[in-house]
Amino acid sequence: MFKAFSTVVMRDLLLAMRHRSDILTTLFFFVIAISLFPLGVGPELNTLREIAPGVFWVAALLASMLSLERLFAIDFADGTLEQLLLTPQPATILVLAKVLAHWLITGVPLVLLSPLLGLQYDLSSDVIQVLMLTLLLGTPSLSLIGAIGAALTLGLRGGGVLVSLLVLPLYIPVLIFGAGAVEATVSGLGGTGHISMLAAIFLLSLVIAPLATVAALRVSAE
Amino acid sequence: MSSNRFNWFRFSSPATFYPLAGRLVPWFSAIAIILIVIGLYMSFFVAPTDYKQGEGYRIIFVHVPASWMSMFIYLVMAFWAIIGLVFNTRVSGMMVQSLAPTGALFTFLALWTGAFWGKPMWGTWWVWDARLTSELILFFLYIGYIALHSSIDDKRRADRASAILVLVGVVNIPIIYYSVKWWNTLHQGASVSVKSGSSMASIMLITMLIMALGFWFYSIAVALARVRSIILERERDANWVSELPEIKR
């Protein structure tokens, strides 16, 4: 069972390495979206420091959502997905593996890049640490929840717009607690409560999302 | 199976459910109209003026029942979604589909009347308070359901895919209900609760309950009327539809 899990993860990572531009587009979307705000709001550092948590989290949300389509669409088009669902290994494990690979490709780079972008917003090192921690805890939940939306909209016309309509409302709790933790740290209140809530959301979605995703995949791929 | 046992699946077929819904709709509509007329009369002329909030509080008689219905209809949708996924019955999916617009309507009504209430009481149309935000998410969930369902052409697949979406979104309902307790922000706490009873005058409570019942019957009547149209639309090629008196003529 673990072998099947690691095989799927390695396969997806290998595929992603062969299409490196796909990863880079998501990453650069994140960078550009964050860099647009100082140009729109104005370069006042005090304002930037205040809006930074929200901007980073909204950009992470959108970047993660934009990359969702790739999660199942290619496998669905060439029939791999059907084979995966037919294997004797439990489908939830395989879905978890695909989600993990998706997170490694799209979530981890965002986490690693955020300190650099944090400097653009003049964030102190404490705040940057909390920002990285919340992104590290929050982006797996985004991938897990997003997988449900990606599975539901598989092979539909206008899937890209539809997936945003389905997934963004479910992302809102992650956004509230993720940005809330950073904001609480900036204002000196300490963000441990928010971080615990983020961890709780992650655990909850880890339990529920694979089941819902498999059910949705079975409906979509039949 | 013994013949005297009631068969719960008798009405899970569109052919038997369609005439049943047709017989029930006038009753539910009549009760809904009577209750809402009585409720509106009581809320405008019988219920006393609130000593703190003045006349403006009267919007509570629409606001609270509409909010209750917005959450309750979602739970009913989730119930039918589970039934549909487990027993694979066709009418369940149609019921979910027919309830969704009414639920979205009540959610919008709750938000809208809340804004009208908030302006004189809080001095603002909208605050990013926990309950308002979670109710807004509920509205998005209804819209998402409707969008997903209408973008899948195969209606059986649409039923099952969107049933999964409804079940995932159910997580939001307890969050809305307990949000005023958990976060304690601007929106006032629940006026009515099972444990401590009501925190307001009994005449106001009775008026509110009458309005809630009226909205309840309205929702049932509208959902049943809508499900009849959905059945006709989806079963248009079936034999029993072409033999209906209103189709045959």
Find the farthest-apart pair of alpha carbons in chain A and give their distance in angstroms, rounded. 58
pLDDT of residue B185: 59
Take residue B127 and report the two structure tokens written for it.
Answer: 């605050």
Mapping DSSP to helix (H, G, I), strand (E, B) and coil, where does residue B192 land?
strand
Q: What is the distance in angstroms between the Cα of B222 and the nearest Cα belonging to chain A?
A: 26
Take residue B96 and report the two structure tokens written for it.
Answer: 């979910």
Mapping DSSP to helix (H, G, I), strand (E, B) and coil, where does residue A27 land?
helix
> Is A206 touching B (CB cutoff 8 A)?
no
pLDDT in tens, A153-187: 887 877 778 888 888 888 888 888 888 888 888 77
**CB environment B171-210: b (16+ within 10 A), e (fewer):** ebbebbbebbeeeeebbeebebeeeeeeeeeeebbebbbb
Out of B148, B160, B168, the one facing A212 most closely (by C-beta) is B168
**Contact between chains at A152 and B161 (C-beta distance less than 8 A):** yes
How buried is residue A119: exposed, middle or buried, by Cβ count under 10 Å (0-12/13-18/19+)?
exposed
Q: Phi/psi zone of residue B54: left (φ > 0), alpha (ψ -120 to 50 degrees), beta? A: left
**Contact between chains at A165 and B143 (C-beta distance less than 8 A):** yes
Q: Which residues of B touch A193 (CB under 8 A)?
A: none
Residue type for A106, please?
T
**B60, B212 Cβ separation under 8 angstroms:** no
Rg (alpha carbons) of chain B, rounded to whole number: 20
pLDDT in tens, A125-144: 888 888 899 999 999 999 99
**A60, A30 Cβ separation under 8 angstroms:** yes
> Is A221 touching B (CB cutoff 8 A)?
no
Out of B144, B161, B171, the one facing A219 most closely (by C-beta) is B161
> Is A203 touching B (CB cutoff 8 A)?
no
Rg (alpha carbons) of chain A, rounded to whole number: 18
Residues of chain A with pLDDT under 50: none
Q: Which residues of B touch A169 (CB under 8 A)?
A: 137, 140-141, 144, 169
- The residue of B143, B168, B173 whose CB has the most chain A CBs within 10 angstroms, and thus the best one to mutate to test that interface, is B168
**Contact between chains at A162 and B151 (C-beta distance less than 8 A):** yes
**Contact between chains at A162 and B147 (C-beta distance less than 8 A):** yes
Q: What is the distance in angstroms between the Cα of A159 and the nearest Cα belonging to chain B?
A: 9
pLDDT of residue B190: 60
pLDDT of residue B178: 76
Contacts of B120 by beta carbon, 8 Å cutoff, 6+ apart:
B54, B56
Domain boundaries, chain B: 31-49+56-236
Q: Which residues of A touch B165 (CB under 8 A)?
A: 148, 152, 166
Q: How many CB pairs under 8 A join A and B?
A: 55
Distance CA A210, CA A15 (A): 22
> Is B161 touching A (CB cutoff 8 A)?
yes
Take residue B221 and report the two structure tokens written for it.
Answer: 């009547």
Q: What is the distance in angstroms between the Cα of A204 and the nearest Cα belonging to chain B?
A: 10
Q: For B160, which residue in chain A has the nearest alpha carbon? A: A219
Out of B144, B164, B169, the one facing A165 most closely (by C-beta) is B144
**Contact between chains at B168 and A208 (C-beta distance less than 8 A):** yes
> Is A168 touching B (CB cutoff 8 A)?
yes
Domain boundaries, chain A: 2-221
Distance CA B146, CA B9 (A): 27
Out of B152, B162, B168, the one facing A170 most closely (by C-beta) is B168
**A25, A64 Cβ separation under 8 angstroms:** no
Q: For A157, which residue in chain B has the nearest alpha carbon? A: B151
- DSSP H helical ranges for chain B: 14-41, 60-87, 90-122, 130-151, 155-169, 172-183, 202-234, 239-242, 245-248
Q: What is the distance in angstroms between the Cα of A35 and the nearest Cα belonging to chain B?
A: 26
| Rounded mean pLDDT for each run of 10 residues along chain B, 249 residues in total | 60 83 90 92 80 75 90 92 88 91 94 85 78 87 91 87 90 77 62 56 83 93 92 84 76
Q: Which residues of B touch A162 (CB under 8 A)?
A: 147-148, 151
**Contact between chains at B144 and A156 (C-beta distance less than 8 A):** no
pLDDT of residue B2: 45
